[in-house]
Amino acid sequence: MTKRYITDQLHDFYQISLLYRGILHDEITEYQHIQVVQTDYFGRVLLLDGVIQLTEFDNAAYHEMIAHVPMLAHDNPAEILIVGGGDGGTLQQVLRHPGVEHVVVVELDKRVVEICSRFFPGFGNPFADPRVELVTEDAFPYLKRNKRKFDVILADTTDPISEADKLFSEEFYQLMVAALGPGGVITTQCEQMYFNTSLIKNMFDIAKKLVERPAYYHTLVPTYPGGGIGFLYLSDSPWQNGLGKPYPHGVKYINSAIHEAAFALPEFLKAALLGEQEDG
């Protein structure tokens, strides 16, 4: 029997292939191609335009790190904005913090929400929570007209291609910072340190102009290109404020050692972002 593989080739020099059993959903919407495939090892897998977004097997490493690091760094995160995040995984983690009063999720494609609510029940149907407000539109015009101040903003975006490219612009980062309340924290999906070093440096340079305490951190996700992905932390408050606080019940990846170690940078990235390199 011929084995079937779903292949993600985000980069022209690198590809990932996952053995799969069948395609559970395949739909081209107004905005993108959405697929859900069933695998034996990784469970169900979500792909957008052929790029792996999450798997049941390893999504906690991404969702917990993008959510809990900034949520714990804030003294009282009550008003939250999630840009993207239509799969519900980041939202599920945010709602585990008992002080959360209101979460706005700005997702361009409502079909992502509907499809993931059906095929990824492990996220617990977070959009049904009365604290959640789903806004289906482009995040750029939303933030341009927004008057609300948020304690934490999470940019849970796809990679900087096509429509998502503008979410990695200085203007968009300025809009997010302008929407922060006192002590506010932003965390953005910020790509893979080996494959996207120049992009990360560009975004870090933008962050340095906007906040006092920018930082880059990373997590291990074996089904993402290169086996991991990083985040940009933007705030006038240090990320270390989150250390020593209890993590929500039910986490599978983050703990105090992982939390702290995630901000340790390899020498090549430290040199690129900070102009520093330890004597060898």
Q: What is the pLDDT along the chain (280 residues), one digit of tens a residue?
A: 678 999 987 788 889 999 999 999 999 999 999 999 999 999 999 999 999 999 999 999 999 999 999 999 999 999 999 999 999 999 999 999 999 999 999 999 999 999 999 999 999 999 999 999 999 999 999 999 999 999 999 999 976 655 556 778 999 999 999 999 999 999 999 999 999 999 999 999 999 999 999 999 999 999 999 999 999 999 999 999 999 999 999 999 999 999 999 999 999 999 999 886 655 4
Closest C-alpha among 186, 257, 264, 253 to residue 221: 253
Task: Supply the pTM of this predicted model.
Answer: 0.95
CA distances (Å), origin 100, targets 95, 131, 148, 200: 7, 8, 15, 30
Q: In 199-211, which positions are buried (b, 16+ CB within 10 angstroms) versus exposed (e)?
A: ebbebbebbeebb
Q: Which residues pair with 229 in a beta bridge?
A: 219
pLDDT at 119: 98
- Structural domains in the chain? 5-55 (2.30.140.10), 59-274 (3.40.50.150)
State the catalytic residue, choosing from 49, 58, 156, 159: 156
Closest C-alpha among 104, 72, 64, 68 to residue 86: 104
Beta strands in 136-206 (DSSP E): 150-156, 180-189
Query: In which element (H, E) is residue 236 found?
Result: none
Strands 132-135 and 150-156: unpaired
pLDDT in tens, 25-50: 999 999 999 999 999 999 999 999 99
41 DSSP 8-state letter: S
Extract the tokens encoding 125.
């149907």
Closest C-alpha among 173, 171, 132, 182 to residue 155: 173
Q: Mark whether 156 is an active-site residue.
A: yes
